A and B are shown apart, each in its own frame.
Chain A
Amino acid sequence: MITAFIHKFSSPKSFVVLTAKLYPYFICIGLCLISLGWIWGLLFAPEDAVQGNSYRIIFLHVPSVIYAELIYFFMAVCALMHLVWRVKLAAYLIKSAAPIGAMITFIGLFSGSIWGIPTWGTWWQWDARITSTLILFIMYLGILTLHGSFSNLEKADRLMSILVVIGVINIPIIKKSVDWWSTLHQPASISVSSGSSIDPSMLYPLLISVIGLGFVLISLGILSSRSYIYTREKNKKWVSEYV
């Protein structure tokens, strides 16, 4: 029953049709929210007592590192679907999400290292979370390289899925690295279980930025997955009828 359900709702055709309709809404919501979050955070949120104005990097840094991990997690779920139920769409989504994941991880690393200059006095430190985020970035590159090195794309899809599933072990390591090792990086300021240690005047724009960036990245994912699906399924009848 699960297999039938998955196969019904995971055909590339229904995905393309649905996401083409959703894309304009997602991009509009994303752009509005992210503009609101960043303008609020950059211009209206009060200055931090300890870090001064440099803390305003948080409104880009935190959303990007959240999505760096979330995109990998999404890819791992897709990889599992591809390996267990042989869902083609799942492999297409992994291939389309990996460059976005690499890009957002790069933004997270870059913003973090720039933030480190005024607050820690150094732009790089071999600290647990920074190092494990760098590992995540290499992981994204590895996945892309692995897929790119096989001319047989079905084989490349399966090998890429295996690597993604194995690499998911790094996600809890990144998540918990700040708690497990005594490092320079501060522990998470917002937690589902214990609430937040940030003032609401900073927290609200941060949450809006997180949601806004999410919508922007989903829109980007829709665009790149559609073009990838067209490329892979170009010989299918539905593609020539739809385009």
Chain B
Amino acid sequence: MFDLAFNSLDEILQMNGHGIYVWSVYVVGITAILVSFIIAKKRLREAQEKIRVANASS
């Protein structure tokens, strides 16, 4: 169950011709999730900043 299914890095990338499908899906998926995290973090920081500015001015 825990034996590596491939013998070399090249085999991992190629995956018997299916590498392009498998890796493109994971790249797009991870990118979408990462971008969502970045946007959410940015919005949270902006919202907190606005409240801090409002607090400071009052």
Measured CB to CB, the residues of A under 8 A from B are: 38, 42-47, 52-54, 56-57, 60-61, 64, 99-100, 103, 106-107, 110-111, 114-115, 117-118, 200-201, 216, 220, 223-224, 226-228, 230-231, 234, 239-240, 243
Contact = CB atoms under 8 A, between A and B. Distances in A.
A56 B21 CA distance: 10
A46 B6 CA distance: 9
Nearest to A123: B21
B48 A243 contact: yes
A230 B18 contact: no
Contacts of A61: 25
Interface size classification for chain B: 35 or more
A190 to B, nearest CB: 18
A107 B12 contact: no
B45 to A, nearest CB: 8
> Is the contact region of chain A dominated by helix, strand, or loop, or is it mixed?
helix
Given A44-B4, A111-B29, A230-B47, A52 B18 contact: yes
A224 B47 CA distance: 11
Contacts of A118: 18, 21
A64 B28 CA distance: 13
Given A43-B4, A44-B5, A220 B51 contact: no
